Structure 1
Amino acid sequence: MRPAADSVEGGATLPQEVDLVVIGGGIVGCSAALWAAEQGHRVALLEKGRIAGEQSSRNWGWVRRMGRARAEYPLGIESLRIWEGLSARVRRDTGFRRTGIIYTAATDREMAWLDAVERDAEGFGLAVRRLTGAQVAAHFPEAALTAAGALLTEDDGRAEPAHATAALALAAREAGAAILTGCAARSLETHAGRISGVVTERGRIGCAAVILAGGAWSRLFAGNFGLDLPQLRIRSSVLRTGPVANGPRFAIGNGEFGLRPRLDGGYTIARRGRAAVQVTPDAFRLLRLFLPGLRRNSSEITLTLDRSAWNGFFIPRRWNADAITPFERCRVLDPEPQHRQMRKAMQSVRRAFPVFDNARIAESWGGIIDVTPDAVPIIDRVRDWPGLVVATGFSGHGFGIGPAAGQLAAELATGAPPLVDPAPFRLSRFPAGVPQSGSDTASATV
């Protein structure tokens, strides 16, 4: 059920020593590897499966600043700047286009949300335009879109998940980074209290710094050496249509669906506000941290009891460096899409845009999103593991802010001045983000 994405053939040779190891071949990890390699650092990127095999190829493809948590606005602004020149930088088309994004509102609650988004956007100096219901209708003359108002950012845009991350990985390799696919990281090594290497399924790589950008897998990997990352998994579903003539040119979000034009003439569509939290043992372990958010968003969040709950009881949470790990037993998370949600999303789109009445559904897929209690990522040095930087928990926002987030993580790992203030992304904002009691942090190989 995975979407088609550009492939990247990994290298066959494991380097003996580098300056920086990046764990995770999603957009954040590939962005970090590219930036660090461009600065002259020796870099190895480890991906247990394939580049962009999980959420980096399964997301909506929006590149937005508007509508973010306030903490994310600086990253969103910097990322849009990077996206603007990214295709030229990597010498490949990432699919980025400044085509504008519109959020529409039909209820009082949605209008209040638009008010808050407008205040935040204007506070960061973004050019946003408020539209009345009549102006929304004028933007979409062939639509039957119900809207009391809307917010438009014409500078925001979109890119193609099927192409962008692979383009970054290939450019990182051309800049000197070793890109290793089908090569899971098993554990970290330390010497004299600092990161000194990474043990992989193919052998050891010596290094001075590590970035953990493992997405939905980050919590499991970190737990093996006693770091309790507050992160849960949310299941999402997306579909794409074949080409649709005379469809909307803007990416659109409302209370029912999200829609994005694609370079191939089709559209990426998903149902908004219907996140499915996977009921797993971790969901119970982290309930105290996540409960306030679950209560606030109870109308938009559902619980899903699927095979992940059963698997969660049997996945090892500790392993030795010479043992086969969960990352080797499951190379790519590829959940079944929620077909009922996809049907509802398509029905909503067809009601709003009759031009989709005969649109062909070309493909649908599921994905697993890594979510923090406040839906803001963790991008931080780990105090008790000098040399380790964590970049995870992007909560469904990672594709758009990925280029800046990866650069920030690489700056923290290499000691360069950060492009934005990293304080809002500190792990210490969560009480669970400390080593678990009884963890063996004295071991040289953990």
Structure 2
Amino acid sequence: MPGPKLDPVESDPVLPQSVDVVVIGGGIAGSCAALELADRGLRVALCEKGQVGAEQSSRNWGWVRLSHRDPREMPLMVESVRLWQTINERVGADTGYRKCGITFTLATDADVADAEEAIAEQNKYQIPARLIPAAEALERFPGLSLDIKGAMYNPEDGRAEPQKAAPAVARALRERGGTVHQNCAVRVIETAGGRVSGVVTEKGTIRCSAVLLAGGAWSRLFLNNMGIYLPQLRTTSTVLRTSPIPDGPDGTVKYKDFTVRHRYDGGYTIAGSNTSRFEITPDSFRLFKAFLPTLKNEWRGLRMTVGRQTLEGLRTPRKWGPNDRTPFEETRILDPIPDKRRADRMLADVKGAWPTFADATVEQYWAGQIDVLPDVIPAISPTEGVKNGVPGLFVSTGFSGHGFGLGPGAGRLAADLVSGHTPIVDPTPFRLSRFTDGSKVRAMIGITTR
């Protein structure tokens, strides 16, 4: 089942013999990191097993939000928003980024109390989030009728188009002299003298002194082949887009049963947590202990099922060599089956609450697999210092549904670490070693994804 239609990116037909850095993964985090590195004068090759942006980087809700961020992510998100504000000029294309404000409706008194804490956290960074009464919240969306206590509103929150963003960044990378290689899976990393010396791809070898793994939901499998521990699981969520609605609302609104976001094409992206599911795999048992904090807090109410991922997990090899065909070549693009029944119910809820959408029709459904770490914040880190870690190998992964908005900031931080520059923010919360150094893993309660 095809996912969202992406803006095209041309591939370079020939692999370079050598570069300074190979970036594995052409999602928003990998593409942004590659562009940052190229802008610093480094030779960069971006290798993507499928198509640039084809997995979760194009399947998310398209939010660029400061609201409801884990406090550990806030400094990085502040920097990321600053980068989003100039991204169109930087890449010479329209990514769809706009400040539109996001209205988080609050259905209960407990929601109001949580929002007050979230607002206090944002205000520390001079972010003008505020609590507004129900009448003011609904005035922003004429015709919308909801039983709410109020809302948290942040005018600095925005949106961008997932199908445009990563491809635009990758094209800009090529304009800077970097190379992009799609349908080119990296099989293994080579070392010499105890550090990275190159990568072996399905199309040949590239010599390099550094590698950044930004492989999204595939990162655990890649690192496992090297004996490096990354406690990463996947959840699946369904999204739909509607036909264009003349004079429809421009702002973004989140209600407990649905979210509605205006699209570049005049339609709307509609999503919600009710369409999320978790398919049990062998890794579910291997990582059960690591994910206990997340299960207690973040995944309450998440539907757990047995399905296609269960079978794939059983037959996916966990070890391979440079001459073997890898799982990354067997599955070029993760394209889960969307839950149309729940998505249709969600659209019916929207129509019932909002006559503006009475004539809206579904133009496409899709689903995406979200990579999740136990504490629900990413790993942006060198691997050096962890068991079987390799000097010169870095990771940027595990964004746990928050990665699209964080993409430019995460790219900058990863590039800082790879190139030895002063990090844009303190990288300590994102270190890979936190899962093995005895640190207490905790997940923030009540994070809103995307």
- Return the alpha-carbon distance in structure 1 between the equivalents of residues 162 and 275 of structure 2: 21
- Check whether the contact 1:190–1:197 (CA below 8 A) recurs between aligned residues: yes
Relative to structure 1, the CA distance from residue 318 to residue 433 in structure 2 (aligned partners, 3 Å threshold; closer, same or farther) is: farther
State the match for 1:119 in structure 2.
120
- Return the alpha-carbon distance in structure 1 between the equivalents of residues 398 and 305 of structure 2: 19
- Check whether the contact 2:103–2:137 (CA below 8 A) recurs between aligned residues: no
- Check whether the contact 1:427–1:433 (CA below 8 A) recurs between aligned residues: no
Read off the aligned partner of 2:266 and give its amino acid letter: G
TM-score (normalised: structure 2): 0.94
Read off the aligned partner of 2:180 and give its amino acid letter: I
Shift of 1:122: 1.3
- Is 1:207 matched up with 2:203? no
Shift of 1:96: 0.5
The within-5 A match list for 1:128-167 is 128-167=129-168
Percent of residue pairs identical:
48
State the match for 1:100 in structure 2.
101
Which segment is superposed worse, 293-302 or 30-39? 293-302
State the match for 2:27 in structure 1.
26
Which segment is superposed worse, 2-11 or 209-218? 2-11
- Return the alpha-carbon distance in structure 2 between the equivalents of residues 297 and 11 of structure 1: 41
SS of 2:264's equivalent in the other structure is coil
Shift of 1:273: 5.7
State the match for 2:57 in structure 1.
56
SS of 1:12's equivalent in the other structure is coil
1:398 to 403, 411, 429: 403
Instruction: Structure 2 unaligned segments of length 5 or more: list them.
Output: 440-450
Shift of 1:432: 8.5
- Check whether the contact 1:337–1:365 (CA below 8 A) recurs between aligned residues: yes
- Is 1:411 matched up with 2:416? yes
SS of 2:38's equivalent in the other structure is helix
- Return the alpha-carbon distance in structure 1 between the equivalents of residues 108 and 364 of structure 2: 31
Read off the aligned partner of 1:129 and give its amino acid letter: R
The within-5 A match list for 1:14-413 is 14-272=15-273, 275-383=276-384, 384-413=389-418
- Return the alpha-carbon distance in structure 1 between the equivalents of residues 114 and 343 of structure 2: 25
Read off the aligned partner of 2:249 and give its amino acid letter: P
Shift of 1:129: 2.1
State the match for 1:427 in structure 2.
432
- Check whether the contact 1:289–1:373 (CA below 8 A) recurs between aligned residues: yes
- Return the alpha-carbon distance in structure 2 between the equivalents of residues 327 and 65 of structure 1: 33
How many equivalent pairs are there? 434
- Return the alpha-carbon distance in structure 1 between the equivalents of residues 437 and 333 of structure 2: 27
SS of 2:99's equivalent in the other structure is coil
Task: Describe the superposition over 1:284-328 as per-residue Cα deviations: whole angstroms up to 9, x where unpaired.
Answer: 100001122112245431212111101111110000111110101
Read off the aligned partner of 2:140 and give its amino acid letter: H
Relative to structure 1, the CA distance from residue 433 to residue 403 in structure 2 (aligned partners, 3 Å threshold; closer, same or farther) is: farther
Relative to structure 1, the CA distance from residue 143 to residue 7 in structure 2 (aligned partners, 3 Å threshold; closer, same or farther) is: same
- Check whether the contact 1:275–1:300 (CA below 8 A) recurs between aligned residues: no
Task: Describe the superposition over 1:180-212 as per-residue Cα deviations: whole angstroms up to 9, x where unpaired.
Answer: 001000000111111111110011111110000
Structure 1: 4+ residue segments shifted above 3 A? 297-300
- Return the alpha-carbon distance in structure 1 between the equivalents of residues 316 and 67 of structure 2: 38
Shift of 1:139: 2.1
- Return the alpha-carbon distance in structure 2 between the equivalents of residues 317 and 226 of structure 1: 10
- Return the alpha-carbon distance in structure 2 between the equivalents of residues 129 and 120 of structure 1: 11
Read off the aligned partner of 1:32 and give its amino acid letter: A
Which segment is superposed worse, 7-16 or 210-219? 7-16
Shift of 1:349: 1.4
- Return the alpha-carbon distance in structure 2 between the equivalents of residues 114 and 300 of structure 1: 21
- Return the alpha-carbon distance in structure 2 between the equivalents of residues 357 and 299 of structure 1: 32
- Return the alpha-carbon distance in structure 2 between the equivalents of residues 182 and 380 of structure 1: 26
Read off the aligned partner of 2:271 and give its amino acid letter: A
Shift of 1:138: 2.4
- Check whether the contact 2:96–2:160 (CA below 8 A) recurs between aligned residues: yes
Which segment is superposed worse, 301-310 or 91-100? 301-310
State the match for 1:444 in structure 2.
none
Task: Describe the superposition over 1:365-424 as per-residue Cα deviations: whole angstroms up to 9, x where unpaired.
Answer: 011011001110000001231001110000111111101101111111111111111111
- Return the alpha-carbon distance in structure 2 between the equivalents of residues 141 and 53 of structure 1: 35
Shift of 1:113: 2.2
Instruction: Structure 1 unaligned segments of length 5 or more: list them.
Output: 435-446
Read off the aligned partner of 2:255 and give its amino acid letter: N
- Check whether the contact 2:413–2:425 (CA below 8 A) recurs between aligned residues: yes
- Return the alpha-carbon distance in structure 2 between the equivalents of residues 296 and 80 of structure 1: 27
CA RMSD of aligned residues (A): 1.5
Read off the aligned partner of 1:136 and give its amino acid letter: A
- Return the alpha-carbon distance in structure 2 between the equivalents of residues 292 and 114 of structure 1: 22
- Return the alpha-carbon distance in structure 2 between the equivalents of residues 76 and 272 of structure 1: 22
